[in-house]
Amino acid sequence: MKIKLSSIMVENQATALAFYTGVLGFKKSKDIPVGEFRWLTVVSPDGYPDVELVLEPNANPSAKAFQQAMFKQGIPLAAFEVDDIEAEAKRLKKSGVKFTMDPKQQGPVKLAIFSDTCGNLIQMYQPPQRTP
């Protein structure tokens, strides 16, 4: 058994693909039409190539209610690891991304939270420096 797919619900799959590739820098992996929706996944060029993030439509009213409530409470629904959080935050802000938490040391990690424009807050974190 392998961890291969994780998913995030998005308001609109087309704009989500534009944000997750054009702004965050992921690459499109699968894009298969399924009825009104798409089976749409992205991968990180810097990460493990076989781990995919599914950009799932959140047309289900229950999913939408959950997503909106979490957003309102400021709770992120996914977390991505970065090497240099300050540089990433600067880069994303330049592209117009809005942060609800600027990079901040929290215990052993540095965290920041931003809106993915698709209905979710996303956390990025920089793990503690590994000593060689």
Partner 1 sequence: MIHAELLSRLCRARDLLRDWEDEPLSVIAVARASGLTHFHFIRLFKAMFGETPHQYRSRAQIEKAKHLLVLTDLSITNVCMAIGFSSVGSFSALFSRRVGMSPSEFRRRYLASLPEQQLPSGLVPGCLSLMAEISD
Question: Of 5, 65, 79, 87, which lies in the binding site for partner 1, with binding defined by CB under 8 A?
Answer: 5
Q: Within 13 A of 16's CA, how many CA atoms are on the CB side?
A: 25
Kindly indicate which of the ranges 43-51, 58-66, 76-84, 123-131 contains the residues binding partner 1, using the contact rule CB under 8 A.
Answer: 58-66
Q: Is 45 in the site for partner 1 (CB under 8 A)?
A: no
**What is d(CA 21, CA 42) in angstroms, rounded to the nearest whole number?**
8
Q: Is 28 in the site for partner 1 (CB under 8 A)?
A: no
User: Side by side, which strands form the sheet with 99-106?
Assistant: 78-81, 121-126, 109-115, 99-106
How many Cβ atoms are within 10 Å of 47's Cβ, its own excluded? 12
Q: Are 131 and 34 in contact (CB under 8 A)?
A: no
Q: Are 100 and 111 in contact (CB under 8 A)?
A: no
CB closer to partner 1, 24 vs 57: 57
CB closer to partner 1, 96 vs 108: 96
Q: Are 127 and 81 in contact (CB under 8 A)?
A: yes
Question: Of 53, 85, 118, 122, which lies in the binding site for partner 1, with binding defined by CB under 8 A?
Answer: 118
Query: Min. distance of Cβ 34 from partner 1 in angstroms?
Result: 5
Q: Which of residues 75-94 bind partner 1 (CB under 8 A)?
A: none
Task: Note the residues at the interface with partner 1 (CB under 8 A).
Answer: 5, 7, 11-12, 15, 19, 32, 34-39, 54, 56-57, 59-61, 63, 68, 71-72, 74, 96-102, 115, 117-119
